[in-house]
């Protein structure tokens, strides 16, 4: 099993970040010096992905512009001798083979993934949610691909969340296979406390096999009237092997303000240029709080 294709669903409406996301896609909000989606594409590339399909909608054309050349700007940077800036700008257009498909109606994550069926063909593929950013030494998608390949299975990324938080996620029914890897036998989306299987939540990364498309094709709308990927995965894990990887790394949900701010601070503290200033600023600020 070799995984070289990835889908980034990025067609959500971003209602938790309004009004900022009224005209700017949430995936294009800057995390320090790059838009959110660039971190996700860089993770995919570092995990061995070559072809990436971004699921967009009519309000998100800023994304395809961003991953294209900008001749006038590049020419100006070249003539001004701004080579570092020129390289940074060129690099965004050369990160990977990036393709786009529109989700014409916002009918849920499962529906968005289904839009990728022709792109994927028969190969297993990765899914990286467009607003979930990871900070990890080993790219998180790569950690999932390794487990999917080892077990010949589909794979979901997981981490343990607090008992109070699990109702915001999909809860997994799992048994341990080895350190950090579990066999998945069931799951449920946004469970009420008595419905949860465990506090292990699916968090933003998946490696899936082609069977998911046949399943999604006849999955009825579920929670929130949308076609939920979890409802499809629940059926997938019953007909073919699925594992979960308790991945090493920290996940940030940049689709809500608190997660976005946490990510901004943590990535800024990792950035050599801005970190000395920010550390000093935070120290001084903390004294006044
Ligand atoms: P979210 O629920 O986090 O995104 O979906 P959202 O719908 O934009 O969030 P709100 O409006 O603030 O609650 C998880 C992922 O699925 C994508 C989103 O773009 C995000 O990456 N998605 C969601 C789609 O591509 N299409 C959909 O119909 C729904």
Write the pLDDT tens digit of every residue in 163-184: 999 999 999 999 999 999 999 9
- Residue with the bigger pLDDT between 209 and 61: it is 209
In this structure, what CATH number is given to the domain that contains residue 138?
Answer: 3.90.550.10
Q: What is the predicted pLDDT for the residue at 225? A: 86
For 48-76, what is the mean pLDDT? Answer: 93
Look at ligand 1, atom 15, and give the residue with the nearest C-alpha. 129
Residue 1 is predicted with a pLDDT of: 74
The pLDDT score that the predictor gives to residue 258 is 96
User: Which domain covers residue 15, as residue numbers?
Assistant: 5-288
Atom of ligand 1 nearest to the CA of 256: 12
Q: What percent of the chain has pLDDT over 90?
A: 90
Tokens of residue 243, six digits: 């594992």
Nearest-atom index, ligand 1, CA of 131: 21
Output the six-digit token pair for 145: 């691909």
What is the pLDDT, as a whole number, of residue 243? 98
What is the pLDDT confidence band of residue 95, given thresholds at 50, 70 and 90?
A: very high
Q: What is the per-residue pLDDT across 149-166, written as a single tens digit (0 to 9) for each?
A: 999 999 999 999 999 999
Give the pair of three-digit tokens for residue 173.
Answer: 């029914």
CA angle 113, 116, 118 (to 5 degrees): 150
The pocket around ligand 1, CB under 6 angstroms, is made up of 9-16, 55, 103, 106-109, 111-112, 129-131, 255
When divided into structural domains, the chain yields a total of 1
Q: How far away, in angstroms, is 108 Cα from ligand 1 center? A: 7
Nearest residue (CA) to ligand 1, atom 4 = 12
Handedness of CA 235, 240, 246, 252 (dihedral sign): negative
Residues 6+ apart with CB under 8 A from 154: 124, 148, 206, 207, 208, 209, 212, 233, 236, 237, 240, 241, 242, 243
Q: Whose CA is nearest to atom 22 of ligand 1?
A: 12
- At residue 176, the pLDDT reads 97
**Residues 235-284 pLDDT 10s:** 999 999 999 999 999 999 999 999 999 999 999 999 999 999 999 999 99
Residue 222 has pLDDT above 90, yes or no: no
Judge whether residue 121 has pLDDT over 90. no
Amino acid 283: pLDDT: 95
What pLDDT is recorded for position 101? 95
Ligand 1 centroid–CA 255 distance in Å is 8
- pLDDT grade for 206, boundaries at 50, 70 and 90: very high
What is the whole-number distance in angstroms between the Cα of residue 11 and the centre of ligand 1?
A: 6
Question: What's the pLDDT score for residue 236?
Answer: 96
Of all protein residues, whose CA lies closest to atom 9 belonging to ligand 1?
Answer: 14
Ligand 1: which of 126, 255, 257, 259 to mutate, judged by most atoms within 8 Å of the beta carbon?
255
pLDDT value, residue 270:
96
Q: How far is ligand 1, taken at its centre, from the CA of residue 80, in Å? A: 41
Pairing of strands 200-208, 154-160: antiparallel
């Amino acid at each position: 099993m070799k995984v070289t294709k990835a889908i980034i669903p990025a067609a959500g409406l971003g209602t938790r970040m309004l009004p900022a996301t009224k005209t700017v896609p949430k995936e294009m909000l800057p995390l320090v010096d790059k838009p959110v989606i660039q971190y996700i594409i860089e993770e995919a590339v570092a995990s061995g992905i070559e072809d990436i399909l971004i699921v967009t909608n009519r309000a998100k054309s800023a994304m395809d512009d961003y991953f294209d050349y900008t001749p006038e700007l590049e020419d100006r940077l070249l003539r001004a001798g701004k080579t570092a800036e020129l390289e940074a700008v060129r690099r965004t257009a050369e990160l990977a083979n990036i393709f786009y498909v529109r989700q014409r109606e916002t009918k849920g994550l499962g529906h968005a993934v289904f839009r990728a069926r022709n792109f994927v063909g028969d190969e297993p593929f990765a899914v990286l949610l467009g607003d979930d950013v990871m900070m990890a030494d080993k790219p998180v998608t790569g950690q999932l691909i390794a487990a999917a390949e080892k077990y010949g299975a589909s794979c979901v990324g997981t981490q343990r969340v607090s008992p109070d938080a699990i109702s915001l996620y999909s809860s997994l029914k799992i048994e341990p296979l080895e350190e950090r890897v579990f066999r998945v036998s069931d799951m449920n989306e946004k469970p009420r406390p008595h419905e949860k299987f465990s506090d292990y939540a699916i968090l933003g990364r998946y490696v899936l096999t082609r069977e998911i498309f046949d399943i999604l094709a006849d999955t009825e709308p579920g929670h929130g009237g949308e076609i939920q990927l979890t409802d499809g995965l629940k059926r997938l894990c019953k007909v073919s092997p699925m594992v979960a990887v308790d991945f090493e790394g920290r996940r940030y949900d940049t689709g809500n303000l608190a997660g976005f701010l946490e990510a901004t601070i943590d990535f800024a503290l990792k950035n050599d240029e801005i970190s000395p200033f920010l550390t000093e600023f935070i120290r001084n600020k903390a004294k006044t709080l």
